[in-house]
Amino acid sequence: MDVAALIPQFGGLAFTIIAFIGAISVIVAVHEYGHYIVGRWSGIFPEVFSLGFGPVLWSRMDKRGTRWQIAAIPMGGFVKFLGDADAASGKDIAAMEAAEEDPERLRKTMHGAPLWARAATVAAGPVFNFVLSAFIFAGLFLWQGKPVDEMIVGSLKPVPGVENGLAVGDEILSVGGVALPAREDRTAWQAFEATLPDETVLTYVVDRDGQQQEVRGPHFRPAYVSLVTPRGAADDVGMAPGDFITHVDGAPIASFDALREAVVASEGRPLLLDVLRDGEPLEFALTARRTDLPTADGGFETRWLVGLQGGLMFDIATEPMSPWRALSLGANSVWATIEGTFSGISHMITGKISTCNISGPIGIAETSGSLAGQSLMDYIGLIAALSTAIGLINLFPVPVLDGGHLMFFAYEAVTGRQPNQKVMQALMMLGVAMVLSLMVFSIGNDLFC
C-alpha cells in the first residue's frame, strides 16, 4: 500500500499526529508493561496502569484489582503501585503508615517490598524498551532478508528515458570497465563509485545464465531519491521518494554523486533542481544546510546536505535469514543506537556538534509523520530507535526517572537505609525541573533550529 497517497485524505497535520501518537503509544505501553509485569511477579501490587496523563478517557478494573486506563494526554504513562502517592512513585506516607500494621500488605507496597524487588521493577521498563527494539530490528531483518554475497539483481527500478538492458538474476561483474570491489570494503566502494562517469547510460558486464554478456543500462547509482530526510531542506519543499533529479541549476546530472558534489559546492547557496516525478517535470528551489553526521569511527563530521538519500538503480537479491541471525543483528542495532547516543551527547558537551541535534516532541512528531508517509518499514525502524533512546534516557541518574530511583536504591544497598524523605522530595522536584527544562529546550530547537 502507498501510505503517502493516503495523506491528503487525512490531512498532513492529522496524519503526523496519528503517526506520532501511534509510535509513542507502542513505546510507552511496552515500557510501562515492563514495570507492571515484573512488579507483579515480584509481589508488588499494581493499582493503576495508565497510558497517558490527565483526564481519564476510558478505564476498567481487572480481576486482580488493577485499574487499566487511557488518559487524554498521550505523552507518556505510568504504573501506580500500592504505597505510591503519585505517578512518579513518591511515597504515600499515610498509606505506608497504615500498611506497617499489616506485614503482608506492607510486602505488597512499592516502598515496603525487598530492595531486589523494587530495583527489578524499576529497571524492567527500560529493559523492556531495549527488548522491544531488538525484536523490531530483528523483524525488519527477517522481512528484508540477507543480501546475497554477489551483486545479483533482485529487482529493477525504472529510470525515465533510459532503456535498461539488465535483467533480474544478472550478476554484475563490472561497470564502465571497472570491476566491482568486495562488498565489505567500504573504501574500495567509494573509490569505485567515484571513478564512474556522470553519464546517463553505462556499460555493464554481467553473468547471465552462466554466460558473460555486455549490456547497456542506467547509471549504477542514478540521481534517484530513495528517501527524503524528515525536516530537511528537500522535505520542506515537498520532494518525495521516487523523484529523479535531471538538472541542478540548469546543468544536467546523471548520478547521485554529481548531485552530492553540487550540494557541497553550493556552501549554502540556493539551488534549483529539475525533477521527474511519474514522468511529470517539476522544479524545486532549496538551500543546503550544515548538518552533523556520525562517522564510522564514532565521531561526527559536518557537511552541506539537502536531506536526500539515493540508492542503486536496482535492488540486490536477498536470501532468507535465520531468526537467530536476525535477533543477533537486532541486538547489535540496539547497541549501535546506544553508542551513537552517547557519542552524540559527548560531542555536544564538548561543543563539537550543535545542540540543535536534540529534538523535542514537535521534531519527533514531524519525523514520525514524514517516515510513515514515505515507508512503513522506515517508520517501524524509527519506533525501534525511539524505544532504545527512551529506555536509555530513563536510565539516566536523574531523580523522577527510572535511573534516579535506581540511584536511590544503590544508596540504600550501600548504607542499609532509605534516603531521607525530605531529601528525596527535594531531589524529585529538582528532577522534575531538569526534565521540564530539557523539554522546553528541545521544543525551542524544534521551532528555531
Position 296 scores a pLDDT of 67
Tens digit of pLDDT for each residue in 191-216? 898 889 889 999 999 999 999 999 99
> What local confidence, expressed as pLDDT, does residue 249 receive?
96
Q: Is the pLDDT of residue 38 over 60?
A: yes
In Å, how far from its chain's centre is CA 310?
19
pLDDT recorded at residue 295? 72
pLDDT category at 227 given cuts 50, 70, 90 is very high
Lowest mean pLDDT among 95-104, 353-362, 405-414: 95-104
Sign of the dihedral defined by the CA atoms of residues 66, 71, 74, 77, in that order: negative
- pLDDT tops 80 at residue 309: yes
Integer CA distances (angstroms), 372 to 12, 19, 264, 333, in order? 11, 7, 29, 21
Ranges of each domain in the chain: 3-44+113-143+385-448, 148-218
Asked whether residue 7 carries a pLDDT value surpassing 50, the answer given is: no
- Confidence at residue 340, expressed as pLDDT on a 0 to 100 scale: 92
Higher pLDDT, 163 or 259: 259
Q: State residue 298's pLDDT score.
A: 66
Look at residue 164 and tell me whether its pLDDT is greater than 80: yes
The pLDDT tens digits for 236-295 are 999 999 999 999 999 999 999 999 999 999 999 999 999 999 989 999 999 999 988 777
More confident site: 273 or 159? 273
pLDDT for 297: 67
What pLDDT shows up at residue 9?
A: 44
Is the pTM above the cut of 0.85?
yes
Q: How confident is the model at residue 318 (pLDDT cuts 50, 70, 90)?
A: very high
- Read off the pLDDT of each residue in 395-401 and give the average, rounded to a whole number: 94
pLDDT tens sequence across 77-93: 999 999 998 877 778 88
Q: What CATH code would you report for 148-218?
A: 2.30.42
Task: Indicate if the pLDDT at residue 8 is higher than 70.
Answer: no
Whole-number pLDDT of residue 285 = 97
319-367 pLDDT, tens digit per residue, is: 999 999 999 999 999 999 999 999 999 989 988 888 888 999 999 999 9
